[in-house]
A = this chain, B = another copy of it.
């Protein structure tokens, strides 16, 4: 598992306290999705909300993070294993737990492709599974 500072250097991004903090949070959380609000709370007001939003955007543009589809219209971001190395994939399987409300990126599972009706052309796919996770049994 890479450290935040190293990832920033790799991606040619300036090493700022906010970026190190945000990226560190994602690394610590593993494959769990984190919302901007959570980051704001975790940082205890150390960084401006706007700065966190901009940091998230920077990371998305750099393919470090991707947006996580939530059924309840709540936006989260996640660092996926696949995104860390070079074969960045846009085929994500996300699991949303209705009990603890965490959304995780199930990297182990690959999306089974379906046959689309004539004329449809797939670019990417997101599979969201809603249910209960191991911790909430």
Which chain B residue lies CB-closest to A108?
Answer: B117
Question: Is B119 in contact with A130, judged by CB distance below 8 angstroms?
Answer: no
Q: A residues 106-134 with Cβ under 8 Å of B?
A: 106, 108-109, 111-112, 114-134
What 0/1 readout, one digit per residue, does chain A (83-111) give for beta carbons within 8 Å of chain B?
A: 00000000001010010000000101101
Question: Is the C-beta of A71 less than 8 angstroms from some C-beta in chain B?
Answer: yes
For this chain, the copies found in one complex come to 2
Q: Which residue of B lies closest to A114 (CB)?
A: B109
Asked if A16 is at the interface of the complex by the 8 Å CB criterion, the answer is no
Question: Across the interface, do B120 and A132 meet the contact criterion of CB distance under 8 Å?
Answer: yes
Query: By the criterion of a CB under 8 Å from any partner CB, how many residues of chain A are at the interface?
Result: 36
On whether the beta carbons of B93 and A119 are closer than 8 Å, the reply is: no
A128 nearest in chain B by CB position: B126
| Chain A residues at the B interface, C-beta cutoff of 8 Å | 67, 69, 71, 73, 75, 93, 95, 98, 106, 108-109, 111-112, 114-135, 137
Listed A/B pairs (23) with beta-carbon separation below 8 Å: A69-B71, A95-B116, A98-B123, A109-B116, A114-B127, A117-B134, A119-B134, A119-B135, A119-B137, A120-B132, A120-B134, A121-B131, A122-B130, A123-B130, A123-B132, A124-B130, A125-B128, A125-B129, A125-B130, A126-B127, A127-B127, A127-B128, A128-B128
